[in-house]
Amino acid sequence: MKPETMIVWSRWRPISTLPLLSLLKRFGYATVHSTSSIGFVETRLSNRAGLVSLWCFLTQLDNLLKTGLKVILPLLLGRVVICDRYILDLMVETMADLHDSPRRMRLGYKLLRLLPRPDRAFLIDIEPIVAFRRKPDMPTLSHFVERVQLYRELARTLGVRVLDGRRSRERVHDEIWRELSPS
């Protein structure tokens, strides 16, 4: 018998960060761009180390709570879980927002180690301009450039398999299918 499969989409949504986000917006340290269905928060906290660490911790706590429930429960029930956006994406979004180096492992990022490790993870790598044209959910192209660099560097350290997104969808699909199919 085949196990039931669940698809999980993981993106940050403010839960524990909502009060802090409200204050940051009020005092001009954060802007919410309505460029996509989920919105995009851009902070300006560079000179406020304690606030940066608090923001990072709370955003990753939100990610851990929300994503953890969506992933751990189905796994405990014996289901196969497929995540669109997971640890790599959760880290990239916060690192880009805070302009952190991928080598900077704040306590907030370490919280994500509590999430189950994927058996396999893939990054379909495309150029920033292509991503921006396909889905302009960031305010500017430079936001994509920063994120693509973070994705590429973190993919190596997290053991994420990088696939060439310039190839056809069919070829990318076939490569993933070969990797996931039993021999």
Domain ranges across the chain: 5-180
Of 105, 3, 101, 22, residue with least CA distance to 60: 105
| CATH tag, 5-180 | 3.40.50.300
pLDDT tens for 107-137 read: 999 999 999 999 999 999 999 999 888 876 7
pLDDT-based confidence at residue 36 (cuts at 50, 70, 90): low
Q: Is the pLDDT of residue 37 over 60?
A: no
Residue type, 35: T
Instruction: Please tell me the distance from the alpha carbon of residue 96 to that of residue 149, in angstroms, as a whole number.
Output: 10
Residues 6+ apart with CB under 8 A from 108: 53, 56, 57, 58, 59, 60, 61, 94
The pTM (predicted TM-score) of the whole model is 0.84
Pairing of strands 30-33, 40-43: antiparallel
Provide the CB-side half-sphere exposure for 80 (13 A, CA): 9
